[in-house]
Amino acid sequence: MMNSTVAATATNVSSTPSRLTMASLMLAELCGEYSSLIMPFILVAMMGASHLTEATAGRLVSLQLLGMTLASSFVSITLRPGRSLRLILAFAVTAIVVANIMCAVAHAALIVAAARALTGIGEGAAMSAATAAVCATSNPHRVYSMIGMASGTMAIVLLAVAPYIAGHAGAAGLFWMLALLPLPALPLLGGIPLVAVGPPVRRNGPVTTLLYGAPILLAYLAFWMGTSGMWVYAERIGATQGLTPQQVGLSLSLGQLAATPAPLFAAWLGPRIGLPASVAVGCAGMAVAAACFVFGGHPWTYGLGAFLAPFWLLFAVPSFRSRMAVLDPSGRTVAISVVGYTIGFGAAPLVVSAVTTGGRGYALTGLICIASFAAGGVLGSLPGFRLAKAPLSK
């Protein structure tokens, strides 16, 4: 029985991922990421359409992140070698579409809260299932890098389009856009690979995954905590340095555009220096970006940080995920890494809000972000514990 499963999976993985496989994985992953790219606009849309306070809308964002955490944990626990993830992804896309339609047509706070929770569940399931499926391809690092490039490109488009739609079609128009965007993923789900069947593993259950994957998972959490602490407050940090909102927006937009080639650089450099070193380089780059962002004190240093941050972000994320795929080819570790992403991304604003009270500025925030990136680089570059017994390529 096991041999037949292995054979079935082997036919599902070619020496080079097909265009259908690459497109289906990219679209499935983007379904889990795209709303976070324009979260500030979603926050404002919820406040305007449902007459919510900023604090209440922020709690709904946290509720969405909680849904992502629960869904990704469920997907990670239920992964089995040779299993198809297409049904999970179909549910995820459907949930995201339905949830955003609910936000577009209903304005009661309770309904919007349920919709954002459902959105998080769909996004968490999509992101964890897609990242796990990538482990079944012959070159996960290349696929993760291409997904990173697609994410960066989509960020540029959405950041340009979302304000226009919100300004001309209102909050409902923004949520209708969010509802329609995932639909192209549905007809391509046939290209999603089965869960990888790799070398024998050491009792690869959820507890084993957490124990063996703890260093890289904690590194990923620390990385996203530093990223969120810097990125969520980018506009406020710029304002304390005397920049206008227009200058901040221009810096961030140009930085995102210039960072688009970063995933290709990650795909080229990773095989040459090794994935542990790539993780360390990405975290070091983010630390430098945080230093420029917070401590530069000049428009040009802020602009430099605005370029370095998205560049090294798009470099580091595929390096982290590829490292997880090497340590655990079953895909369970990279699937549960979504939990690290949501916890890290959600915890940083709480910490930043606590240390910036009383007009103390963002110096301590910068130090916390740099320390988070340092911790991520050290933990992420440790030798690690492979769940696979047989040797794996680095």
pLDDT in tens, 111-127: 999 999 999 999 999 99
176/264 same-domain check: no
Q: Based on the domain organization, do 88 and 187 belong to the same domain?
A: yes
Domain termination residue (choose one: 128, 161, 191): 191
Last residue of a domain, one of 191, 225, 243: 191
Mean pLDDT for the stretch of residues 3-13: 40
Mean pLDDT of the chain: 83
Is residue 387 in a domain? Answer: no
Tokens of 314: 């798009």
324 in the same domain as 255 = yes
pLDDT level of residue 208 (50, 70, 90 thresholds): low
Q: Are 346 and 221 in contact (CB under 8 A)?
A: no
Bridge partners of 201? 388
Same structural domain for residues 174 and 283?
no
The span from the CA of 78 to the CA of 73, in Å, is: 9
Q: Check whether residue 248 and residue 153 sit in a common domain.
A: no
Q: What is the pLDDT of residue 5?
A: 39
My answer on whether 220 and 186 are in the same domain is no
- Tell me, yes or no, whether 90 and 51 share the same domain: yes
Domain that holds residue 121: 2-191
Cβ–Cβ under 8 Å, residues 28 and 189: yes
Residue 196 belongs to a domain: no
Checking if the pLDDT of 277 tops 80, the result is: yes
Global pTM reads: 0.79
Same structural domain for residues 132 and 274?
A: no
Q: Of 188-202, 234-248, 348-362, which one has max mean pLDDT?
A: 234-248
Q: Coil, helix or strand for 370?
A: helix
Q: List the alpha helices (DSSP H) in the chain.
A: 2-12, 19-37, 39-50, 54-78, 86-105, 109-134, 140-180, 206-231, 234-240, 245-258, 262-273, 275-295, 299-327, 332-355, 363-380
- Range ranked top by mean pLDDT from 147-161, 187-201, 277-291: 277-291
pLDDT above 90 as % of the chain: 39
Instruction: Output the pLDDT for position 249.
Output: 74
Residue 201 three-state SS: strand
Does residue 178 belong to any structural domain of this protein? yes
Verify that 172 and 111 share a domain, yes or no: yes
Higher pLDDT, 251 or 292: 292
Count other C-beta atoms under 10 Å from residue 233's C-beta: 22
Same domain, 23 and 155: yes
Residues 95 and 126 in one domain: yes
Q: What is the pLDDT of residue 160?
A: 79
Instruction: Output the domain CATH number for residue 142.
Output: 1.20.1250.20
Q: How many domains does the chain have?
A: 2
Partners of residue 388 on adjacent β-strands? 201
* 201 domain-assigned: no
Residue 77 lies in a domain: yes
Q: Are residues 44 and 178 in the same domain?
A: yes
pLDDT-derived band at 386, boundaries 50, 70, 90? low
Of the three residues 136, 164, 191, the one that is the final residue of a domain is 191
What is the arithmetic mean of pLDDT over 263-290?
A: 93
Min mean pLDDT across 59-68, 271-280, 381-390 is at 381-390
8 Å CB contact between 119 and 99: yes
Residue 79 has pLDDT above 80, yes or no: yes
Residue 35 lies in a domain: yes
